Structure 1
Amino acid sequence: MSLVPKNNAITESQDAVQDGNPLFPVFLKLNQLHTVLVGAGNIGLEKLTAILSNSAQAKVTIIAEQISTQVYDLAARFPQVTVLQKTFAEDDLKGANLVVVATGNESLNNYIREVAHQHNLLINVADKPSLCDFYLGSIVQKGDLKIAISTNGKSPTVAKRLKEVLNDNLPQELDTTLQQMSQLRETLSGDFASKVKKLNEVTSILVEPKADISVRKNFNWLIWCSIIASLAITITAFWLKNPDFQSFVQTISPTFYYFLAAGFVFAMIDGAIGMSYGVTSTTFSLTMGIPPATASMGVHLSEIMSNGIAGWMHYRMGNVNWRLFKLLLIPGIIGAVLGAYILSSLEHYSMYTKPVVSLYTLILGCVIFSKAFKGKRKRADKKIKRISLLGFGGGFIDAVGGGGWGSIVLSSLIAGGRNARFSLGTVKLSRFFIAMMSSLTFITMLSHGNHWEAVAGMIIGSALASPIAAKVSNQISTKAIMVSVAVIVILISLYSIEKFIVKIL
């Protein structure tokens, strides 16, 4: 079959292209090809290093009369690499897909090229562009992102310098962006055009001018400041102009304001680090003299709305594993209702249940402290199997201790090899139903008038903080907050336990 174009327009277009770089970039799956490398000196070592650094599973056969120690050492680390100390022969190309030559012997180079073309094989000859069918360009790699640089054989030095510039200026976090975009792509439905439109919307921030981003952020802050200022002005106006409003505010117990502030602060912390709302709120409530059951009820009531919104958002984004959701939901609700029932039944024995819950918060405080200093954990080889048992235990402990569903269930799923994004979405959505059922159990079991001012203050405070927490979370050191929270929780828990010990002695 002739490769000469019959269309004159195409021929003219191709001729015009030849004025520039005519190379066509491709990315080869070297793990599925057999590469023959002839030469095992310094240049051969360089070529072998380039091949294996880009594809650790590449099958390579090295042929040379003299083989350097460095080549032997590198090849020994890769079982699929074969080293043959011999003179090159034509039969060495049987079963090969690519040929790379690094001999420095011009006559041998020409002979290998001739033989390779007789076998319809592509060949690269080191430092001989005229003998090459393809070039090994400079490579910049950030995880799954790989950029190849070609100067059409004109200047390897320029390619090397460009590689250094890109390596220094492209952040390693680009690989995280790629993984997230890949996961998002898997969740999209519809035709190709709708998928492209959605991906364009998500990635528009990457090309948005910095000035526009700054203006948008400042405008968002202006909106929030305006809302807060409006509320302050309204409350001040009522206070100054309406005596009935003053009388109403003065009749509210100071406990309401304490818990309003506490709920706001704890929700801000939770928004910054994604955990600890339950343990901090429960620890504070116990210290303020609130019985464990009422403290847990306040925590769960204040979490219904926040988890409902978060769960709905994850549902809209396709971040829910429905099989995992079903396995967690029913056992989690049973465990939460049972825990709430037992804790409510022991309300009259709160003097004895308080130290138990304080011990639990002490343990969680230590867990938070350890997580602050731990590096990123490696993904487990096997996924956790007993999901239903995990849901039941997480729901029960969460109800009894006023928190722990996220720290127990979510961390266990991720540590067990589950996808972090789907685990988070599933746990958040299931948490909404579990918090709602445990709250209903607490309300049914507990008598009226049980510290409702504290419960109301915590609910309103956390609700006010929820939309603001996301705005400030990126400005605070997560490690510093986790350490601070852990220290506070540990100290308060120890103080509560100490008070119990002093009472019984």
Structure 2
Amino acid sequence: MSNTLFPIFLKTDIFRFLIVGGGKIGLEKTETLLRQNPLVAIKIIAKEISDDLWKLLHKNPHVEWEERPFENGDLTLIDFIIIATENTVLNREIKLKANEEGILVNAADQPDLCDFYLGSIVNKGHLKIAISTNGKSPVLARRLREHLEEAIPDTINDSIENLNAFRDQHKGDIQAKLASLNQATSVLVAKKKNKKEGKKYKKLTFEIAVVFLALFFGYGLSSVISIQDLQVYVKEIPSAFYAMLLVGFFAQLVDGAVGLGYGVTCATSMMLFGIKLPAISGSIHTAEMFSSGISGFSHYKFGNVNKKLLLWLAVPGVIGAVLGALLLIYLGKKYETITYAILATYTMIIGIHLIVIAFRKNIVRKKIKHTGVLGFSGGLLDAFGGGGWGPIVTSTLLSKGRQSSYVIGTVSLAEFFVTLAASITFFASIGVSHWYIVAGLILGGSIAAPFAAKLAGKLPQKTAILLVAFLVIVFSIRMLLKIL
């Protein structure tokens, strides 16, 4: 058996911990213990204590510390040792001496020197979940912890308190208590089962309805338009439709793998095909309006939308989108070469910004300032350039340390209003003569959607973002060379 770990939960108020090392790892391990018990007994021994650890020690004066090398006498009255130094020889010596004294050891990033692991921990009131990958992948354990922290509601603690009160009030033996608890919670299982059956019924009904409508309209259409007429209509479809079919397919693959970049990818690709600038942005916003509407509604339904942030993004974003669309229509007619240069430069900047996002490390939570300005500039550049709302607004909010689910959900719903405003502006100014572009983007994106979903689960986020950035920069450079 490869995984022989036995998970236990220690009462940290009765044990003493020794941490050897005062660098980044020592800081991380100290913070981990303090998060579980702010009054846990910790002693830190290190040749040098980092500035960040100094700050933590000043906030927690009960933590003992000495800035000097490790000595054998430090093992006195210690229950557990956490080694946080980069000196592997010293780490092994401490491990052997500690085990001789019957003390268990954890050595950071050295599983062979560990008697126990410090897993990633989910805290929700009385609920505590520890996650371990047997020392193989701490990053995966951390990602699972982040997922569970978002998935488990904060109200779980109320449920635990209620069930505990119910158990204490019950006077029967253990079997009677279990029977009562099963009866009280069986309604949840029944609802879930009925819900699944209802979903199956709805799915079957929907599939039957689709088949019926397809046959009904297919038969009705065949009685009005002959096969020969249909062939004539197909021949009259502009060649740009098929080009947009490919662009929509590729852009959806990119967006599915990365979570952003649909508009920028479409804009740079369509510029190479020589499509007029207002038609580029108008088509992209019309096609994207459907996906952003569905995505935004789904996020709202699942509670991933911050209403206050939505207001500060959507209202200025709509104003910026209308202004950006009008500006593009005016510049696109009179200064086409200059506008192409501006858009190519803009998309190149977005590509460089995507590279910055790809290499960005964990960000500390900061206060967001000038949210309205962010929404306005995002809407303006998105309408003017045919894309950029996601790379500009989403990346800015995430860089401030905001929770990803609320950022993506709120920005997605705000994007619907921004794309709707831009689409109406374009329609009112240039009409719907570019219908074949919109149809090609929507159809190509629809075909790519299932492939994009599979690609999103296999392609690493960093690799995908760098790939998009590379393609956008290459397309932008080619566009600038074409102008020159």
- For the aligned pair, the TM-score class normalised by the smaller chain equals 0.5 to 0.7
Partner-residue secondary structure (3-state), 1:186? coil
Mapped to 2, the partners of 1:497 and 1:447 lie a distance apart of 29
Mapped to 2, the partners of 1:270 and 1:53 lie a distance apart of 37
2:169 is the alignment partner of 1:185: no
| C-alpha spacing 1:446/1:142, structure 2 compared with 1 (3 Å) | same
Mapped to 2, the partners of 1:324 and 1:287 lie a distance apart of 36
Gaps of at least 5 residues in structure 2 are 1-6, 21-25, 67-75, 80-100, 104-113, 124-131, 160-183, 193-206
Give the equivalent residue in structure 1 for 2:262: 277
Mapped to 2, the partners of 1:380 and 1:436 lie a distance apart of 34
How do 1:20-169 and structure 2 match up within 5 A? Answer: 27-28=10-11, 30=13, 55=33, 60=41, 71=45, 73=47, 79=57, 80=61, 81-82=63-64, 101=77, 127=102, 139-144=116-121, 167-168=134-135
Mapped to 2, the partners of 1:474 and 1:166 lie a distance apart of 20
How do 1:494-505 and structure 2 match up within 5 A? Answer: 494-501=477-484
2:141 alignment partner, one of 161, 174, 188: 174
Mapped to 2, the partners of 1:427 and 1:452 lie a distance apart of 27
For residues 158-210 of structure 1, the C-alpha deviation after alignment (integer angstroms, 9 at most, x for no partner) is xxxxxxx962357542332222222233377998489x969x98xxxxxxxxx
2:436 alignment partner, one of 427, 439, 453: 453
Tell me if structure 2 keeps the 8 A contact 1:384–1:417: no
Give the equivalent residue in structure 2 for 1:466: 449
Give the equivalent residue in structure 1 for 2:180: none
**Aligned-residue offset at 1:319:** 0.8
Amino acid at match of 2:384: V
RMSD over aligned Cα, in angstroms? Answer: 4.4
| C-alpha spacing 1:191/1:83, structure 2 compared with 1 (3 Å) | closer
**Aligned-residue offset at 1:480:** 4.0
2:373 is the alignment partner of 1:395: no
Tell me if structure 1 keeps the 8 A contact 2:33–2:40: no
Mapped to 2, the partners of 1:82 and 1:479 lie a distance apart of 41
Give the equivalent residue in structure 2 for 1:257: 242
Rg larger in structure: 1
Give the equivalent residue in structure 1 for 2:388: 404
Tell me if structure 1 keeps the 8 A contact 2:16–2:78: no
| C-alpha spacing 1:172/1:430, structure 2 compared with 1 (3 Å) | same
| C-alpha spacing 1:61/1:469, structure 2 compared with 1 (3 Å) | closer
Mapped to 1, the partners of 2:448 and 2:102 lie a distance apart of 64
Tell me if structure 2 keeps the 8 A contact 1:377–1:415: no
Partner-residue secondary structure (3-state), 2:135? helix
Tell me if structure 2 keeps the 8 A contact 1:142–1:172: no
For residues 410-468 of structure 1, the C-alpha deviation after alignment (integer angstroms, 9 at most, x for no partner) is 1101111221110110001111111111111111011553x432232122222332344
Mapped to 2, the partners of 1:72 and 1:301 lie a distance apart of 61
Tell me if structure 1 keeps the 8 A contact 2:305–2:409: yes
For residues 259-293 of structure 1, the C-alpha deviation after alignment (integer angstroms, 9 at most, x for no partner) is 11111111111111111111110011111111222
**Aligned-residue offset at 1:331:** 0.7
Mapped to 2, the partners of 1:429 and 1:187 lie a distance apart of 24
Amino acid at match of 2:479: S
For residues 292-326 of structure 1, the C-alpha deviation after alignment (integer angstroms, 9 at most, x for no partner) is 22101111111111111111111122111111111
Amino acid at match of 2:373: L
Amino acid at match of 1:407: P
How high is the TM-score relative to the length of structure 2?
A: 0.64
Tell me if structure 2 keeps the 8 A contact 1:398–1:404: yes
Give the equivalent residue in structure 1 for 2:362: 378
Amino acid at match of 1:142: G
Amino acid at match of 1:365: G
Tell me if structure 2 keeps the 8 A contact 1:302–1:463: no
Mapped to 2, the partners of 1:170 and 1:362 lie a distance apart of 36
For residues 355-382 of structure 1, the C-alpha deviation after alignment (integer angstroms, 9 at most, x for no partner) is 111111111122224434x1x4232342
**Aligned-residue offset at 1:61:** 8.4
Give the equivalent residue in structure 2 for 1:414: 398
Gaps of at least 5 residues in structure 1 are 1-23, 43-47, 63-69, 85-99, 104-125, 129-136, 147-164, 202-222
Tell me if structure 2 keeps the 8 A contact 1:345–1:445: no
| C-alpha spacing 1:480/1:416, structure 2 compared with 1 (3 Å) | closer
Tell me if structure 1 keeps the 8 A contact 2:317–2:376: yes
**Aligned-residue offset at 1:495:** 2.0
| C-alpha spacing 1:248/1:25, structure 2 compared with 1 (3 Å) | closer
| C-alpha spacing 1:457/1:59, structure 2 compared with 1 (3 Å) | closer
Identity, % of aligned positions: 31
Mapped to 2, the partners of 1:427 and 1:460 lie a distance apart of 24
Tell me if structure 2 keeps the 8 A contact 1:306–1:466: no
| C-alpha spacing 1:433/1:189, structure 2 compared with 1 (3 Å) | farther
| C-alpha spacing 1:252/1:336, structure 2 compared with 1 (3 Å) | same
